[in-house]
Amino acid sequence: MEIKAAKRSLKLGRFQKLQRDINKLKKSTKNAGLTPTALMDALISIIDKYPLNIVEDEDINPVVTIKQFEEIKPEIIISESFVK
């Protein structure tokens, strides 16, 4: 449940430091050879630092990324030109 809330928060762009902390954990454990259980414990300890379930997600609009921009790119552009 916590992991789903963290993924939703990352997608909505609520906690920038959460993403940085998770990426730091990923880089630091690449060559460490941790067991999956130890890695999961480290991930959950990072997630527990953030209040993921306090704010209702219905009021928050997701951040538009470059990949999503192609899907919502406007097809008609209205412009004005002024001739002197």
- DSSP conformational letter for 61: P
pLDDT for 69 equals: 62
- DSSP conformational letter for 29: T
Judged by phi (left if over 0) then psi (alpha if -120 to 50, else beta), residue 13 lies in left
Region of poorest pLDDT, from 4-8, 19-23, 56-60, 72-76? 56-60
Q: Is 6 exposed, middle or buried (0-12, 13-18, 19+ CB in 10 A)?
A: buried
pLDDT for 62 equals: 58
pLDDT, one tens digit per residue, over 32-67 is: 778 888 888 988 898 888 887 655 545 555 565 666
Domain range spanning residue 55? 2-72
Vertex 1: Cα angle to 14 and 55 (nearest 5): 35
Greater model confidence, 56 or 78: 78
Residue 78 resides in a domain: no
Global pTM?
0.55
Residue 84 resides in a domain: no
Domain count, the chain: 1
Residue 32 resides in a domain: yes
